[in-house]
A and B are shown apart, each in its own frame.
Chain A
Amino acid sequence: MERRKVLGLAGAGVAGAAAVGAGALALSRNDATTSVATELVSDAGGAIPFYGARQAGIITPAQDRLHFCAFDVITDDKAALVDMLQDWTAAAARMTQGRDAGTFGAVGGSLEAPPDDTGEALGLPASGLTLTIGFGPTLFRDARGKDRFGIAAKRPAALADLPKFPRDVLEDAISGGDIGVQACAHDPQVAVHAIRNLARIGMGKVSVRWSQLGFGRTSSTSTSQATPRNLFGFKDGTRNLKAEEPALLDEHLWVQPGDGPEWMTGGSYLVTRKVRMLVETWDRSPLAEQQTIIGRDKGEGAPLTGKLEHDEPDFAAQDGEGQPVIPMDSHLRLAHPDQNGGARMLRRGYNFVDGSDGLGRLNAGLFFMAYQRNPHKQFVPVQNSLAKLDALNEYIRHVSSAVFACPPGLPAADDYWGRSLFA
Chain B
Amino acid sequence: MRPARLITAGAAATAAALLLTACGDKDADTQAGSAAASGKITVAASDTECKVERTSSNAGTVTFSIANKGTKINEFYVYAAGDRIMGEVENIAPGLSRDLIVELPAGTYETACKPGMIGKGIRGAFQVEGSAAPLTEDAKLAQATKDYQRYVKSQTSALIEQTTAFVTAVKAGDVAKAKSLFPIARTYWERIEPVAESFGDLDPKIDARDGDLEPGQEWTGFHKLEKDLWVTKDVSKDGPIADQLLKDVQTIVTKAETVTFSPVELANGAKGLLDEVATGKITGEEDRYSHTDLWDFAANIEGSQGAIQALRPALEERDPALVKTLDANFAKVEASLEKHRAGDGWKLHNQLTQADLKELSDTINALAEPISKVAALVAAKK
Contacts and interface: CB of A to CB of B under 8 A. Distances in A.
**A and B: real partners?**
yes
Interface of A: 1, 22, 50-51, 74, 86-87, 89-90, 93, 103-105, 108-114, 200, 203-205, 207, 411-416
Q: Which 9 A-B pairs have the closest CB atoms?
A: A414-B116, A204-B366, A113-B376, A412-B47, A112-B376, A112-B379, A414-B118, A110-B376, A203-B365
Contact of B48 (A108, A204, A412): A412
Contacts of A200: 369
Contacts of A204: 329, 362-363, 365-367, 369
Contacts of A415: 116, 118-119
Dominant secondary structure at the B interface: mixed
Contacts of A87: 120
Nearest to A23: B48
A414 B366 contact: no
Contacts of A50: 48
19 contacts: A22-B48, A51-B48, A74-B359, A87-B120, A90-B119, A93-B48, A93-B122, A103-B110, A104-B108, A112-B379, A113-B376, A204-B363, A204-B369, A412-B48, A413-B47, A413-B115, A413-B121, A414-B117, A414-B118
Contacts of A412: 47-48, 70, 72, 115-116
Nearest to A207: B362
A114 B366 contact: no
A112 B369 contact: no
A24 to B, nearest CB: 12
A113 B362 CA distance: 22
A22 B47 CA distance: 10
B379 A416 contact: no
Interface of B: 1, 47-50, 70, 72, 108, 110, 113-125, 264, 329, 358-359, 362-363, 365-369, 372-373, 375-376, 379-380
A90 B122 contact: yes
Contacts of B363: 204
Contacts of B375: 112-113
Dominant secondary structure at the A interface: loop
Contact of B108 (A110, A203, A205): A110
A86 B120 contact: yes
B114 A414 contact: yes
A411 B367 CA distance: 34
- Most chain B CB inside 10 Å of its own CB: which residue of A1, A112, A411: A112
B272 to A, nearest CB: 13
A73 to B, nearest CB: 11
B372 A108 contact: no
Contact of B125 (A90, A103, A113): A103
Contacts of B117: 414
A377 B125 CA distance: 48
Nearest to A52: B48
Nearest to B50: A413
A110 B125 CA distance: 12
A414 B1 contact: no
B328 to A, nearest CB: 9
Contacts of B368: 203
A114 B372 contact: yes
Contacts of A108: 125
A39 B83 CA distance: 37
Contacts of A207: 358, 362, 365
A207 B362 CA distance: 7
B138 to A, nearest CB: 15
A239 B162 CA distance: 73
Contacts of B70: 412
A90 B49 CA distance: 11
- Most chain A CB inside 10 Å of its own CB: which residue of B72, B110, B366, B372: B366
B372 to A, nearest CB: 5
Contact of A203 (B50, B359, B366, B376): B366
Given A110-B1, A413-B47, A104 B125 contact: yes
B369 A1 contact: no
B123 A413 contact: no
Contacts of B118: 414-415
Contact of A1 (B108, B125, B264, B359): B125
Nearest to B117: A414
Nearest to B367: A204
A201 B297 CA distance: 24
Given A104-B125, A204-B366, A204-B369, A414 B115 contact: yes
B291 to A, nearest CB: 23
A105 to B, nearest CB: 7
Nearest to B368: A203
Contact of B122 (A105, A110, A411, A413): A413
Nearest to B332: A204
A411 B122 CA distance: 14
Nearest to B49: A413
A103 B81 CA distance: 12
B26 to A, nearest CB: 24
A81 to B, nearest CB: 13
Contacts of B124: 103
A121 to B, nearest CB: 17
Given A113-B373, A414-B117, 6 more contacts: A86-B120, A112-B379, A113-B372, A412-B72, A413-B47, A413-B50
Contacts of B329: 204
A90 B123 contact: yes
- Most chain B CB inside 10 Å of its own CB: which residue of A51, A109, A114: A114
Contacts of A112: 264, 375-376, 379
B116 A413 contact: yes
Contacts of B47: 22, 51, 411-414
A344 B375 CA distance: 55
A254 B171 CA distance: 75
A87 B110 CA distance: 14
Contacts of B50: 413
A109 B72 contact: no
Contacts of A90: 119-120, 122-123
A200 to B, nearest CB: 7
A271 B114 CA distance: 35
A45 B239 CA distance: 66
B303 to A, nearest CB: 20
A104 B376 CA distance: 14
B96 to A, nearest CB: 18
- Most chain B CB inside 10 Å of its own CB: which residue of A87, A90, A414: A414
Contacts of A205: 366
A109 B119 contact: no
B353 to A, nearest CB: 12
